[in-house]
Amino acid sequence: MNIHYTARQNHLTPDIKAYCDERLAGLKRLMGFATDVDVILAHEKNRQKAEIHVRAKGAGLVVIEESPDMMNSLHLAFNALEKKIRKEREKYREKKRRGGRERKSLPLPAAEAGEGEKRVIRADHFSAKPMTVEEAALELDLKKKEVYVFRMEDTEKWAVLYRRKDGHYGLVQPE
Strand 126-131 vs strand 147-152: parallel, antiparallel, or unpaired? parallel
Q: pLDDT tens digits, residue range 92-128?
A: 788 777 665 554 444 545 545 455 687 776 766 666 7
Number of domains in the chain: 2
* Domain residue limits at 7: 2-103
**Contact indicator for 45, 52 with CB cutoff of 8 Å:** no
Say if residues 60 and 49 touch (Cβ distance below 8 Å). Answer: no
**Which of 103, 118, 148 is the last residue in one of the domains?**
103
Share of the chain above pLDDT 70, in %: 83
CA torsion sign for 52, 53, 57, 59 is positive
User: Quick one: 92 and 133 in the same domain?
Assistant: no
pTM above 0.75, yes or no: no
98 and 130 fall within a common domain: no
Mean pLDDT, the chain, rounded, equals: 81
- 10 and 43 in a single domain? The answer is yes
**From 3-7, 72-76, 119-123, 145-149, the region with the lowest mean pLDDT:** 119-123
Question: How far apart, in whole angstroms, are the C-alpha atoms of residue 154 and residue 133?
Answer: 11
Residue scoring higher pLDDT (80 or 128): 80
